[in-house]
Structures are given as structure tokens and as C-alpha cells.
Amino acid sequence: FQMDKTPESYLDLFPLEAIVYLTPDSENVLEDIDPSKVYVLGGLVDESIHKQLTLRRAREQRLQTARLPIREFMVRAPNARNYHCETLAINQVFDVLSTFYETRSWPAALRAGVSSGKGYVLPDAADQ
């Protein structure tokens, strides 16, 4: 993958209608990757998770939003802490997106990027 670094904002580089801001709080499920779109992986460097912050930011910027289809393809795994979280690190989101782009399979993509420590597993793994 080619990456460019720039001090410019994605808002200045791309048309608003081409931008999809990925946030776990979106009500829209990402079903496919559209090569004509620009996907923004929002990130927070913080010890705590600020619910709805990335969704609010995207709405303020009037951007489309989407979330990964974790709930649609994965199940909550029983665990001692009863911990389940759909918020992923940027590298995990990137792994999911790049694997989906290569395989066109959400189960394969989610297996690649969502660690079991998040409390979600694919249904076939839950049976084991």
C-alpha cells in the first residue's frame, strides 16, 4: 500500500461526498469497499474510550459514516470479565479493511483484525 503524509486535512484534499468516516458508533454498516471513496480511520490516543466522539466529529464535518460489520458476522464470546468491545486500534481496522479488500470475505477480514481479547469471535470459533 502506498501512503502519503501531508499536513493538509482530508477535508481539503477530497470532496465531502467521497469521504466515509469509520467509527464504531455509526448506525451504518460497511458492506463493501468502494474504490471511489476515501475511508478515514479516526484515532484517539488516550487511556479511555470517548463514546460517540468520532461520530460527533464526522457529523460536525457532514461526512458519511460507517462501522465494521462486527455485530453482523461475530458473536459475543463468554469471558470472565463479560467484556465486549467493538472499538479497534487503527492497525486492526487497517488489517480488517485490507484483508476484506483482498479476500472479499468479512469473516476472513474480521478474523485477521479483531483479536479475541475484544470479546467477539466468529460463530465457528464460539462452538469450540
- Is 32 a catalytic site residue? no
Distances in whole angstroms, Cα of residue 110 to Cα of each of 45, 70, 95 = 23, 7, 8
Report the alpha-carbon distance of residue 109 to residue 1 in Å, rounded. 17
Of these residues, 25, 46, 95, 127, which one is catalytic? 46
Per DSSP bridges, beta strands 19-22 and 38-41 are parallel
Active site residue ranges: 46
